[in-house]
Chains A and B, each alone.
Chain A
Amino acid sequence: MTELQNIAKKLFDDGSINLLIGYSNNENGGTSAIFIDNSADIDKLIYNENCHQNLMVYFQKPEVKKFGKLAFVVSLPGLKSVLEIASENQIKDGDAYFIAIDKDGNPSLLQDFHQIEDFITNNQTKPPMGLLKLMEKINNMTREERWQYWTDEFSKCIKCYACRSVCPLCYCTQCITDINIPQWISTESSPIGNLDWHIARAMHLAGRCIGCGECMKACPVDIPLALLTANLNKSIAIHFGDEPGMKADYKYPLSHYKLEDKENFIR
C-alpha cells in the first residue's frame, strides 16, 4: 500500500469520510477521477504527473455532495481553489479533508485552512514558460493585432462550455449561459456570439482565477483561455496588490473596498 492509500484508508477506517475523490488509471492509458465510497477500492488510488484534473470542481456537484463527508486528493492548484472557494464563503473550515500532494509527489493530510495556506507558501511553482512567452508576445502586440489574435482564436470556439464545466471557480448553480429569458449569451457560435461568452467567462474569473489551466487543457480547439484570466489577474495585482488562492480570508478586490483605494467615488 502506498502512503497515499494509507492516509485514505485511515480516513475511511475511523469513519471520517463517506467519499474520497482521487485519481486512478483509466481504460485509455491515462488517469481520471475516481470516486471511492468504501475502503475496498483504495488500491485503485494513484498519483503521478499525469494526474492534472482539478478535482475541487466536484465540491458543488449535487450527486457528489449527497454522499456526505468528502475527502479530495489535491495538488497545488487544487489547494489554491480550496482557499479561493473558502474566501467566497462556499466552503467552511472542516467541511472536507484534503490529501495534499507536494511538489515531490508526497502526500500529507491537511485538515484546516491554515495548514493549506502554509502548504501553498512552501510549494509555490512558476507558471509554465511557454505560457509566459505567449502572454508576453500577445501583450507586445498593437491593440489591432491583439484584437485580431483573439478574434481568430475565438472563431474556433464551438461553445461546448467545457472551459466552464472543468473550472472549480465556475460553481454557479445557474450559469449565465443557462438563462434564456432573456438570452444573455447567444447560443450561436459566431464571432460575436463567441466573444459574448469569452468576455463573460474571463470577467467573471478576473482576480479569482487560481491558474490551474484546466480550461485550456479541456478546450477541444486549443484556445489559450488561461491567458485571459492570467492577464486580468496581473492587472488586478498591479492595481490592488492582491493574488487569489493564497489566503482563506482573501478580500476579492472587485467586491470589497479599502479606505486606501486610489479611487474615491465610493467614499
Chain B
Amino acid sequence: MNNYKLITKQNLHSFFDALQPKNTIIAPKEINKKYYFKPVDKFEDIALDYIQTVLSAKSVLFPRSDTLFNYHRADGDYNIDEPSPIEKNTIVFGMKPCDASSFVYLSNFFLKDYQDKNIKERLEKLYIISLSCKEADNACFCTSVGSNPASTKGSDLNLTLIENDTYYVEVVTEKGQELINYSADLFQDTKEIDKSKYIANVPQKFDVEQAKQNIDSIFESPLWVKDSLACLGCGICAYACPTCTCFDIQDIGSQFNGSRVRNWDSCAFDLFTKHASGHNPRPVQSQRWRNRIKHKFEYSVENLGLISCVGCGRCIRSCPTSMNIVKTVQIFQGV
C-alpha cells in the first residue's frame, strides 16, 4: 500500500500528542551536542534536524542486555519465568531511512529460521516513523548500499519536510495507517510527489555489486593488514551499528537464583572467537576487521540474501582511530 498525505509541523505536534498517551515513544534527543534515541513524552524534546545519532535504534528490538528467562530453584526443582519483553506498543519517531531499513535486516536475522520470542513480540508492537534526511555529512553513504535519504524501506510512515513547515507523509504499511487513524483529520490527502529535490545529496562512494564480488574473492591479502593497522579492537563500530547482531549468552546469578541474559558482543574482541581449548582462530586484529567487512558484504548475503550495512556511517563517526568501512571497500574496489 502507499498513499500520500501532508501534515503541518504544528499538526505533527498534535499527532505526537495523540500517539503519546497509549504508546512508548522513542526519539532522537540532543545531549551535549550529540544525539541519542531516548524515550520522550514531549514533542519539544525531539530533535528533528539532526544528521545521525551516536548509537542506532536497534536496542529497541535487541537491547544491550536482554533477559531471556529468570530461574529459581525451590523444592529440588527449577522454576522458570519468562519476563514479558515489551509492555506497550513502541513507536520510534524520527529515525532516519537508513535505520528504518536496518529493521528489515534485523527481522530477517532474528526470525528467518528460529523465531526469537523476544524479538518477535517486540517487532509486533513496533512502529517506525522515519524522517527523510535534509542534510548528510561525509560519513553518510546510504546511496552506496542501495538506499537513499528518503527511502521508505522498513518504515511504517515516512515523513519528508517539503516546504513551509509542511511534511509530506507516505503511508507505507497497514501499521502506518493504524497510526494515522489516531488522528486522521490532522492529515490532508495529496498526490505522489518527487521527493528528490527536498532531500540531502549523498554522493555514491562505491558500487555495491562490485564490492560484494571483490570482497567475496579476497581472503588472504596483505591489504587487510595494511588497512587495519590503526584498529585497536574496541567494540564501538559493532555497538553503534544498526545491523550488528552478534551476542553472547550468560547466566547471571548462582545455581539457585538468576537470569539467562543475552548481551551484545563484537567480532572486534579477542575473546569473540576464542575456543574452549584456548586456541583463537582470529588471533590478530586484521583478521577481525576482515571478518567484519566480509560479514557485512559476503556472509550475510550468503545467509540471508541481504548485505548487513545500511550506510548510516555511525562506525566511521565514532571510531576513535578513524577506521573507515567505505575506504576499505574502495581499496578492494581498486584491486
Contacts and interface: CB of A to CB of B under 8 A. Distances in A.
| A and B from one complex | yes
A188 B55 contact: no
Contacts of B274: 178
A232 interface: no
Contact of A27 (B235, B266, B326): B326
A28 B139 contact: yes
Contacts of A31: 322
B265 interface: yes
Nearest to B32: A222
A63 B64 contact: no
A188 B252 contact: yes
Interface residues of B, number: 48
A94 interface: no
Contacts of A193: 65
A222 B54 CA distance: 11
A57 interface: yes
Interface centre among B32, B236, B318 (most CB of A within 10 A): B236
B206 interface: no
B269 A178 contact: yes
B263 interface: yes
B138 A27 contact: yes
A63 B229 contact: yes
B250 A188 contact: yes
Given A158-B239, A220-B240, A222-B32, A61 B263 contact: no
Interface residues of A, number: 41
Contacts of A178: 269-271, 274
B301 interface: no
Contacts of A205: none
B230 interface: yes
Interface stretch (A78-86, A105-113, A161-169): A161-169
Interface in B243-295: 248, 250, 252, 261, 263-266, 269-271, 274, 284-286
Given A28-B138, A28-B324, A63 B284 contact: yes
B233 interface: yes
Interface string B204-240: 0000000000000000000001101110111110111
B286 to A, nearest CB: 6
B34 interface: yes
A224 to B, nearest CB: 11
Interface in B285-325: 285-286, 316-318, 320-322, 324
B327 interface: yes
Given A28-B137, A61-B232, A166-B320, 6 more contacts: A32-B230, A165-B320, A187-B263, A188-B250, A188-B252, A222-B34
Which 5 residue pairs spanning A and B have beta carbons closest together?
Answer: A32-B322, A165-B234, A218-B320, A162-B234, A165-B232
27 contacts: A26-B322, A27-B327, A28-B316, A32-B321, A35-B230, A58-B229, A63-B229, A158-B239, A159-B235, A159-B264, A161-B234, A161-B269, A162-B234, A164-B234, A165-B233, A165-B234, A165-B320, A166-B234, A178-B270, A180-B271, A187-B265, A189-B64, A214-B320, A218-B234, A218-B236, A218-B320, A220-B54
